Amino acid sequence: MTMRVLFFLSFLLHAATVAAAPSQNALRPAGIQAERIHDLWLLTVGVCAVVFAAVLVALLLALWRSGRSDATTAPDVASLAAPEPTLKRNVLLAVGASIALLFVLIVADFQTDRLLGRMPLADAVHIEVTAHQWWWEARYNDPEPGKIFSTANELHIPVGRPVIMTLKSSDVIHTFWLPNLHGKKDMIPGRTSLIRLRADQPGTYRGQCAEFCGLEHAMMAFLVTAEPNESYEAWADAQRREASNVLSARESRGRQVFMERSCVMCHTVQGSGANAVFGPDLTHVASRQTLASGVLPNNRQQMAAWVTQPQKLKPGTNMPATALSGEELEALLDYLGTLK
């Protein structure tokens, strides 16, 4: 009895966390491209379900009509010798139906692909997404060089405006997969691929690397927030700003720790001396919802754990553990908290 209650409770808990988490569901399309893929999926599932049901019915019918016997009587095999004109007709019918349905699926597939390519692209947002082991770099391009900015693991896009993403990889093959907005697209080192999508409903959607890429493949997620154009522009303006150098004494001490220890070897903080590009850009790290590529919620405790014990939280990550005294860690966390 207690087992059953426990099971039920854990199920409830699971359902609650799933409901609270950002949506990652190809069956809940939030954009025009995903809707078309969803339509194709529905058609394919429908056709396959009908065919499966028909095959099962035919099988049951054949079982029911077959010659029966029990332990004492010989089976009636007379029907085997008799000619079966209906059998030939039924087989021909089934083959014909299969070919016709296959043809329907091929045409639908082709048509979906054509529709995906027809999304209007005027006034598009251009984002260059680079996959790394195991995080995502996003560079928002603009014809005006001063408006280009970089962020990591968390993208914002305007609702109703097309987004053209240029996909690259810096090390091994990854796959960009944002199921609520589009299908999968491979990211192959040395090659550039494009994905065009549009979010039509505001919301936060979770994406995930969909090609096994090493130890932490499963912990390589990203969030995409689709929001109205005005709030997107406000977010982009905030991301373009450099980090403030007006700091309290403790925050300045944190900045000093950042510059003197290993942080500065890989990370960028715009407006400070740190400009290495081998880890995520931290200029606005405090404005993000997650740390470590969608693995941890972004708060002070998790940040402390991530800085001091990254291998415990994400074994194999390229982020090294940094030995800090209590005072240094608190100061560093204060400083990172100012990077909004």
Partner 1 sequence: MNPLFVRQLCACVVLLALLPGCYREQRPLPGAPATASPTDPLRLSGLQPGEPKASATANNPFEKNAYATSQGKRLFKQYNCAGCHGSGGGGGMGPALMDDKWIYGPEPANIYATIVQGRPNGMPSFGGHIPEEQLWQLVAYVRSLSGQLGSAVAPARSDSLSPGKAEQQRQKEEPREGGLPQQAQ
Contact footprint for partner 1 (CB under 8 A)? 171, 189, 260-262, 264-266, 276, 278, 308-309, 311, 315-316, 320-323, 325
Least distance CB 278 / partner 1 (angstroms): 5
Which lies closer to partner 1 via its Cβ, residue 16 or residue 276?
Answer: 276
Least distance CB 134 / partner 1 (angstroms): 14
Can you tell me which residue has the tokens 């990854």? 174
Which lies closer to partner 1 via its Cβ, residue 32 or residue 263?
Answer: 263
Which lies closer to partner 1 via its Cβ, residue 50 or residue 277?
Answer: 277
Least distance CB 258 / partner 1 (angstroms): 11
Least distance CB 149 / partner 1 (angstroms): 22
Measure the CA–CA gap between 63 and 293, rounded to whole angstroms.
55
Cα–Cα–Cα angle for 143, 185, 237, rounded to 5 degrees: 30
Least distance CB 316 / partner 1 (angstroms): 6
Task: Show Cβ contacts of residue 225 under 8 Å, excluding neighbours closer than 6 positions.
Answer: 154, 155, 156, 157, 203, 204, 205
Which lies closer to partner 1 via its Cβ, residue 127 or residue 274?
Answer: 274
Least distance CB 81 / partner 1 (angstroms): 40
Residue 108 to residues 25, 31, 36, 52: CA-CA distances in angstroms? Answer: 22, 19, 10, 20
Which lies closer to partner 1 via its Cβ, residue 57 or residue 321?
Answer: 321
Which lies closer to partner 1 via its Cβ, residue 56 or residue 276?
Answer: 276
Which lies closer to partner 1 via its Cβ, residue 123 or residue 260?
Answer: 260
Which lies closer to partner 1 via its Cβ, residue 177 or residue 335?
Answer: 335
Q: Looking at this protein, which amino acid is placed at residue 260?
A: E
Least distance CB 264 / partner 1 (angstroms): 7
Least distance CB 133 / partner 1 (angstroms): 10
Which lies closer to partner 1 via its Cβ, residue 8 or residue 278?
Answer: 278
- Which H, E and C letters describe the chain, residue by residue? CHHHHHHHHHHHHHHHHHHHCCECCCCCCCEHHHHHHHHHHHHHHHHHHHHHHHHHHHHHHHHHHCCCCCCCCCCCCHHHHCCCHHHHHHHHHHHHHHHHHHHHHHHHHHHHHHHHCCCCCCCCEEEEEEEECCEEEEEEECCCHHHCEEEECEEEEECCCEEEEEEEECCCCEEEECCCCCCEEEECCCCCEEEEEEECCCEEEEEEECCCCCCCHHHCEEEEEEECHHHHHHHHHHHHCCCCCCCCHHHHHHHHHHHHCCHHHHCECCCCCCECCCCCCCCCHHHCCEECCCCEECCHHHHHHHHHCHHHHCCCCCCCCCCCCHHHHHHHHHHHHHCC
Least distance CB 214 / partner 1 (angstroms): 11
